[in-house]
Structure 1
Amino acid sequence: MLRQFLGSLGVLTTLVPDRIIDVFEAVVVENPDENTVHSWFSPLIRAEGVVIVLAALRGGRLYVWLINVTGVFGAVLFFFPRLYEQIAGPLVYEDPEPVEWNEHLTDGVRVIGAVYVLLALLDRQRRNAS
């Protein structure tokens, strides 16, 4: 079930990366119209979607690797949520200085981190039970 869900997210990310960026900005940035996203960020999002789809379809080691990386990333987000701003700003925007992050971003990042860790743990438990 998790593989199908992740595969669906991967397809969505592959097909409409610009829309994904728009949603991201609407949720986490107070001044999205004042910032310029790197021109290569949309293709990067699309490539991420392709990797997720391949992992979900193929399963095996690639899928396990992706879930494990997701869990580790989730732990980092949970314990160091402000690090997300420091990484996301330069990664997403040409000039990250004027980006005004939403005041609830830290709490949201922690929740996302906890969900990532939970998904990785549930998948590991499922694999160990098999």
Structure 2
Amino acid sequence: MLRRFLGALGVLTTLVPDRIVDVFEGIAVENPEENTVHPWFNPLIRAEGVVITLAALRGGRLYAWLMNVTGIFGAVLLFIPRLYEHIAGSLVYEDPESVEWNEHLTDGVRVIGAVYVLLALLDRRRRNGR
């Protein structure tokens, strides 16, 4: 079931990366209209969507690798949520210093991190047959 969900998310990300950015900004950023997204960011998101879709469809080592990376990334989000603002700001925006993050972003990032870690652990447990 998780693979299907990730596959659908990957397809969605591949097809409408600009909408994914809009949703992200609507949740995470107070002043999205004042910030300019790097021109190469949408193709980067699209490429991520393709990788996620392929991993979900194929399964095996690629999917296991994706879930391991998801767990590691989730641990970073859970334990060092402010680092996300620095990484995302520089990765997404041309002028990351002008981004005004939503005041509840840190809590949301921690929750997402915890979910990522949980999903990775559940997947590892499934792969190990427990």
TM-score grouping bracket, smaller chain normalisation: over 0.9
- 1:45 and 2:48 equivalent? no
d(CA) in 2 for partners of 1:79, 1:23? 24
Q: Which residue of 2 aligns with 1:7?
A: 7
Provide TM-score, normalisation by structure 1.
0.99
Find the residue that maps to 1:8 and give its secondary structure: helix
State the SS of the aligned residue for 2:128: helix
Quote how far apart the aligned CAs of 1:80 are: 0.1
Secondary structure at the counterpart of residue 114 of structure 2: helix
**Counterparts of 1:1-130 in structure 2 under 5 Å?**
1-129=1-129
Superposed CA RMSD: 0.7
**Residue identity in the other structure for 2:109:** V
User: Which of structure 1's runs of 4+ aligned residues deviate more than 4 A?
Assistant: none
Distance 1:60 1:83 in 2: 31
Cα displacement (A) at 1:78: 0.2
User: 1:48 deviation in Å?
Assistant: 0.1
Q: Which amino acid aligns with 1:12?
A: L
TM-score by length of structure 2 reads 0.99
* 1: CA distance, partners of 2:80 / 2:98: 22
Instruction: Tell me the CA shift for residue 129 of structure 1.
Output: 1.2
Provide, for residues 46-71 of structure 1, a one-character-per-residue CA deviation record: whole Å limited to 9, x for no partner.
00000000000110100000000000
Q: Which runs of 5+ in 2 are unaligned?
A: none
Q: Give 1:56's aligned amino acid.
A: A
Q: Residue 36 of structure 1 aligns to a residue in which SS?
A: coil
**Is the partner of 2:117 in helix, strand or coil?**
helix
SS across alignment from 1:129: coil
